[in-house]
């Protein structure tokens, strides 16, 4: 019997993976990897490792989730070390819990290697702390993309009134709906907001504004997934704390697109 490692690859910057995560890549006989992992991480793999792409796009799945489960079980049952390499953290909107359940059903030993999730890392690279003593002590991870028929299961009033900072994953295509629901349930439309596309990578784009004009800003700058949506007073700190873009040498800023709009940042 082999073993499966469910590994969080981090949000995009290849240096943000854990040491244990790298070890799992190096020791793997089989690596099943997602679309959003940084491909540089595959350079740690053994020359004879079997690399299996499991990437998914909105409305198009290269490999069905059930097929991924099948491969994890099949290779581990054959005595191989299998690393399931997932963007961000495997248990934060990564369906890692479903994969772990499949392994348990088949008696396959496994370990979960946490990773840095984009909901924390993308705002950090944009100069936005998700918590701050003077601006907000509570934050929530929210998926902006739900199974059909479950949209209303989100407790919009609780999110709008009870949480200081919202970090919304996979929400660009539903941004008008998210914006309307938050405002309708009591969120101030002038609440600072930001969109961070391809966070922590050289292609990071950060756009700021307010909740009330966020859809307009996204359309103007053609923001697409993968993008984190941040809503909360902490977004106002970006103007002072935007360290990532400023870390590039003069003359190289053209390599990163940075767009600013709206009344914040």
Residue 7 to residues 91, 111, 208: CA-CA distances in angstroms?
Answer: 10, 8, 32
Reduced to 3 states (helix: H, G, I; strand: E, B; else coil), residue 230 is strand
Q: Is 64 a catalytic residue?
A: no
Catalytic one of 50, 56, 74, 80? 56
Cβ neighbourhood burial of 245 (10 Å; 0-12, 13-18, 19+): middle
46 CA to centre of own chain: 27
Residue from 13, 29, 164, 170 carrying the catalytic annotation: 170
Q: How far apart are CA 60 and CA 180, in angstroms?
A: 27
What is the helix (H) or strand (E) element at residue 125, kind and residue range?
Answer: helix 118-125
Give yes or no: 39 in active site: no
Spatial neighbors of 222 by CB under 8 A, at least 6 apart, are none
Q: Are 199 and 228 in contact (CB under 8 A)?
A: yes
53: left (phi over 0), alpha (psi -120 to 50) or beta: beta
List 3, 13, 29, 34, catalytic entry: 34
Q: How far is CA 111 from the centre of its chain?
A: 21
Sign of CA dihedral 161, 162, 167, 172: negative
Q: Is residue 63 annotated as part of the catalytic site, yes or no?
A: no
Q: What residues are labeled active site?
A: 34, 56, 170
């Amino acid at each position: 019997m082999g073993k499966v490692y469910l590994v969080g690859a981090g949000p995009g910057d290849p240096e943000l993976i854990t040491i244990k995560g790298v070890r799992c890549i190096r020791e793997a006989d089989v690596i099943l990897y997602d679309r959003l992992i940084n491909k540089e991480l595959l350079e740690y793999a053994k020359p004879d490792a079997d690399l299996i792409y499991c990437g998914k796009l909105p409305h198009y799945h290269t490999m069905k989730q059930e097929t991924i489960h099948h491969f994890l079980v099949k290779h581990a049952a054959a005595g191989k070390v299998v690393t399931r390499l997932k963007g961000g953290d495997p248990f934060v909107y990564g369906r890692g819990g479903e994969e772990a359940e499949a392994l348990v059903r088949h008696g396959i030993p496994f370990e979960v290697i946490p990773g840095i999730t984009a909901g924390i890392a993308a705002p950090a690279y944009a100069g936005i702390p998700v918590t701050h003593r003077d601006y907000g002590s509570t934050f929530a991870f929210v998926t902006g993309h739900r199974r059909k028929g479950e949209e209303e299961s989100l407790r919009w009033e609780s999110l709008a009134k009870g949480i200081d900072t919202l970090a919304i994953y996979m929400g660009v295509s539903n941004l008008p709906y998210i914006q309307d629901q938050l405002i309708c349930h009591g969120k101030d439309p002038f609440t600072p907001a930001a969109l961070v596309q391809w966070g922590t990578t050289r292609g990071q784009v950060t756009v700021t504004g307010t909740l009330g004009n966020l859809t307009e800003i996204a359309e103007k700058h053609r923001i697409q997934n993968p993008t984190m949506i941040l809503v909360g007073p902490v977004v106002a700190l970006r103007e002072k704390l935007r360290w990532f873009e400023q870390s590039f040498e003069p003359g190289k800023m053209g390599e990163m697109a940075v767009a600013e709009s709206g009344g914040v940042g």
